[in-house]
Amino acid sequence: MRLPFFIILCLTILLSSCSQYQEVLRKDDIGKKYAFADSLYQMGKYRKGLKLMEQIVPLYRGKPQGEKLMFIYANTYYNLEDYYLAGYQFERFTQAYPQSDSVEVASFKSAKSFYELSPRFSLDQRDTHKGLEKLQEFINTYPNSDKRMEANELVAELREKLEKKEFKTAVQYLHVEDYKSAIEAFDNFITDNPGSIYRREAFFNRFVSAYKLAINSIPSLVQERLDIAKGHYKNFMKYYKDTDLASEAVEIYEDIERRTVTEETTPTI
């Protein structure tokens, strides 16, 4: 069965291209490697181009072509979603070529690479903190950048993730009945995150934690801790009396009042 001419032509071109690539890859002509790597990059063949770039990037440092090569080298890692190396290489680019026309783009992509490395909230958040630091640095350095709005959105997303982790840690203390640690954690959260979407729940859960600490205390500490819980109730109602958690808070407060009356009227023997 004869293959159509078009298919034969495509196969011939493909084989020829592969052969040429292997030849350039093997030989020591860095000029050809540079030109071929650039061509592959422009065509979106990043993995092939990367192999050539890895061979020649050190050889072009300090040369006129080095600026473009180092940028597309970093951007190749970025396009391949290897964000560790992309962030690192973009950082190196900004340090090596601070006057480059591409330095703003490189700074943003470096920061965004660290954003991309940020894991889900339940895991270690070192990369999230690094991403926040780099994005804020970009915003401060380029306040008029057309990437500023996107950078601010990424900052808000990373901050919300850190807030969520801090809030969930406090909730976990409540769930395992470590009420003292829960109260302290919710106190810190409320102080550190004044605009958080979890602030209402933090106020409520601090009150619940104080209530549960009180009713599970030894008798001599119950009244003192019930009074503290009342204070947390008042703080919650000050800001959130019209929210969906208010009715549950009132029920708990009514139980506190009953317990207070009972304790105060119990005769001492």
Q: Which helix (H) or strand (E) holds 190?
A: helix 179-192
Can you say whether residue 62 is alpha, beta or left, with left for phi > 0 and alpha for psi between -120 and 50 degrees? left
pLDDT tens-place string over residues 9-45: 333 444 345 677 777 776 777 888 889 899 999 999 9
66: how many CB neighbours lie within 10 A of its CB? 20
Average pLDDT, the chain: 89
Which parts of the chain have pLDDT scores under 50? 1, 3, 5-16, 267-269
Residue located via tokens 């850190």: 162
Q: How far apart, in Å, are the Cα atoms of 11 and each of 7, 38, 184, 192, 247? A: 6, 23, 69, 63, 73
Q: What is the rounded CA–CA span in Å between residue 76 and residue 157?
A: 26
**pTM, to two decimals:** 0.78
Do the Cβ atoms of 205 and 182 come closer than 8 Å? yes
CATH topology of domain 177-269: 1.25.40
